[in-house]
Amino acid sequence: MAKKKSKTSKKKNIKVNKVNLVLLIIFFIAVSSIIFYFVSLSNNIVDIKLSPINISRKQEQKKDIEIKKTDDDKIITKEIPVKHIEPESLQVIHDKLIEPTTKDTPASEPLPAPTIRDKAKMYVINPNLPKICIIVDDFGTITNTLFDRFNSLDTEINFAILPGHNNSRLQMNKAIEAGREVLIHIPMEPDMSDGKIKNKDLESVTIKSSMTDFEIKDYIETWMFELFLASGANNHMGSKATRDSRVMKIVLETLLQNDMYFIDSFTDSKSVALKIANEVGIKSARRNIFLDVPESSMANARKKITEIKKIKNQDVVVVISHCHNDIKYRQLIHFIDKLKDEGYQLIPASLAVR
């Protein structure tokens, strides 16, 4: 009986040992799988961190050699050790690889004359010539299609806009968006004694010598509110009003209070605008050339260039044209091209005033 019990217990122990062995094997396999998983994961992370640029760069390192030529025309190659590149961002590594290693050196020859590229035309500036300020008058009265043609010209061309018209504010906004300066084209009373100008030719509101100081100031402020992005002003007509010191004093003082400049269109040789401007202390200038008088043509544009060449001892020449039709637009293009050919530099009106 005792022997049977002994045999039974031995059998039970063998079964227990077998079970333990199986469990041990399963445990070992599980631990190995976990270790293998984490090792594989870490290798993948390292591979991810190595950018394509780093990998290609390492391949290139193996190929970096130094080639030397001896006196007897033998070629000797020698591997060059390359510094290890620490992992960085792709952009930084890329920038470092293509960054030129240039060095500043003093110029051995005089620097070339300054050049300007505007509207796809490169031209050389002659510093000995006066600058040119071009103002185109009467915007606000033309169609937006014609306006867009003028607005495609060099941004140094200044637009003078008549207030009170349907397109006045719209064309002001477009001109400003294009990067050019805008002037208020102030309607002023002309001399009508010779009968050439009729009442129908005047704007609905025009600054007149018969107006009171309050009326003049009120109209100027109204127009400044309408064309609030304007930098300065010039006169529309005004051969009579610009001879009146009182009128001009009110006009210029009102502009000065709003940090604006004034350019005298100089429609009358007896104009006192520049004199009063100096007394008031407002920055100002005076028109030298009317581009489209007596006509708008290519020949007249070339004639005006000849007139400009005769102007001496003057830093800036102020030219005024008009925007009434496509002929004037094409004349202005021709005039600008010829100015560039001669070496004149175009400037905005704010740089023409003193």
Report how far residue 154's alpha carbon sits from residue 347's, in angstroms, rounded to the nearest whole number: 10
What residue spans of the chain are helical by DSSP H?
A: 2-49, 52-63, 90-98, 144-151, 168-178, 213-226, 245-256, 273-280, 298-309, 326-342
Report how far residue 256's alpha carbon sits from residue 249's, in angstroms, rounded to the nearest whole number: 10
Q: How confident is the model at residue 222, as a pLDDT?
A: 98
Span 172-176, average pLDDT: 98
Domain boundary among 95, 128, 154: 95
Domain of residue 300 covers 115-351
- Whether the pLDDT of residue 147 is over 80: the answer is yes
In a domain, 277, yes or no: yes
pLDDT in tens, 102-144: 333 333 334 344 455 556 567 788 999 999 999 999 999 999 9
- Whether the pLDDT of residue 71 is over 70: the answer is no
| pLDDT range class, residue 29, cuts 50, 70, 90 | confident
Which of these ranges, 20-34, 75-89, 125-139, 160-174, has the smallest mean pLDDT?
A: 75-89
Residues 175 and 222 in one domain: yes
Q: How confident is the model at residue 23, as a pLDDT?
A: 72
Report how far residue 329's alpha carbon sits from residue 130's, in angstroms, rounded to the nearest whole number: 24
Span 282-290, average pLDDT: 98
In a domain, 310, yes or no: yes
Q: Which three-class secondary structure string do you get for 39-103? A: HHHHHHHHHHHCCHHHHHHHHHHHHCEEEEECCCCCEEEEECCCCCCCCCCHHHHHHHHHCCCCC
**CA nearest 324: which of 280, 285, 300, 293?**
293
In a domain, 175, yes or no: yes
Whether the upstream peptide bond of residue 294 has omega within 30° of 0, thus cis, is yes
Residues 45 and 177 in one domain: no
Residues 344 and 252 in one domain: yes
Q: How confident is the model at residue 119, as a pLDDT?
A: 61
- Whether the pLDDT of residue 212 is over 90: the answer is yes
Residues 133 and 172 in one domain: yes
Q: How confident is the model at residue 15, as a pLDDT?
A: 58
Q: What DSSP assignment string belongs to 262-279?
A: EEE---STT--HHHHHHH
In a domain, 259, yes or no: yes
Q: What is the CATH number of the domain that holds 183?
A: 3.20.20.370
In a domain, 232, yes or no: yes
Hey, CA dihedral for 187, 192, 194, 200, is it positive or negative? positive
Q: How confident is the model at residue 16, as a pLDDT?
A: 54
pLDDT in tens, 5-18: 455 555 555 555 66
In a domain, 338, yes or no: yes
| pLDDT range class, residue 25, cuts 50, 70, 90 | confident
| pLDDT range class, residue 54, cuts 50, 70, 90 | very low
Residues 162 and 291 in one domain: yes
Q: How confident is the model at residue 130, as a pLDDT?
A: 95
Domains in the chain, number? 2
Residues 273 and 131 in one domain: yes
Copy the structure tokens of residue 163: 């207030």
The answer to whether 243 touches 190, Cβ cutoff 8 Å, is no
Which of these ranges, 26-30, 103-107, 121-125, 186-190, has the smallest mean pLDDT?
A: 103-107
Report how far residue 270's alpha carbon sits from residue 210's, in angstroms, rounded to the nearest whole number: 19
Residues 91 and 121 in one domain: no
Q: For the range 251-258, what are the long-range contacts, defined as Cβ-Cβ under 8 Å and sequence gap of 24 or more?
A: 251/186, 251/207, 251/216, 251/220, 252/276, 252/277, 252/280, 252/282, 252/284, 253/280, 253/282, 254/216, 254/217, 254/220, 254/221, 254/224, 255/220, 255/224, 255/282, 256/280, 256/281, 256/282, 258/224
Residues 88 and 234 in one domain: no
Domain boundary among 95, 129, 161: 95
Residues 183 and 312 in one domain: yes
Average pLDDT value for the chain = 80
Q: How confident is the model at residue 124, as a pLDDT?
A: 86
Report how far residue 68's alpha carbon sits from residue 59's, in angstroms, rounded to the nearest whole number: 22
Residues 273 and 225 in one domain: yes
In a domain, 327, yes or no: yes
- Whether the pLDDT of residue 327 is over 70: the answer is yes
